[in-house]
Amino acid sequence: MRVLATIAVAGAVSGCSVSVDPTSWSCASLIGPVIEMSRSRTPGIFEITNPETTLHNNYPADGYRIECSGSAEWSQGSGMIEYGAHVSEGGSVILQYRQK
C-alpha cells in the first residue's frame, strides 16, 4: 500500500519544528517532524533509519527542496520511505512522506 501525506507548516508540526531556513534542512533533521506528522495518519511511522538525500536544492531561484529516502518501521510493517520538504510559492513549508 502506498500512502502520500502532505502538510503545510509554519515552523512547527505538532511540536516538532521544521526549520524555516531551508538551507539548513537535512534528511536527519526531518525525521522527527515526519514521524510526528504520521501520528494522525494510517499507517503511522515509528522509526526512520538510514536516511539518504536524493535531492537537495537550496537555491532560492530554483525553489528550496529536499528529498530523502530511508528504511521505516510502520504501524503495519516495515519497508522503505520517501520523504522531504519544500517551500511553496506562497512561502509555506510543505512536508511530505510516502510509503515506498
What digits encode the pLDDT tens for the residues 34-67?
Answer: 999 998 888 899 999 999 999 888 777 777 899 9
Mean pLDDT of the chain: 82
What's the pTM value of the predicted model, to 2 decimals? Answer: 0.80
* 45, HSE (Cβ side, Cα atoms, 13 Å): 28
Residue tagged 512561502 (cell numbers) = 91
Report whether 55 contacts 83 (CB < 8 A).
no
Q: What is the per-residue pLDDT for 20? A: 63
Residue 91, Cβ density class (10 Å: 0-12 exposed, 13-18 middle, ≥19 buried)? exposed
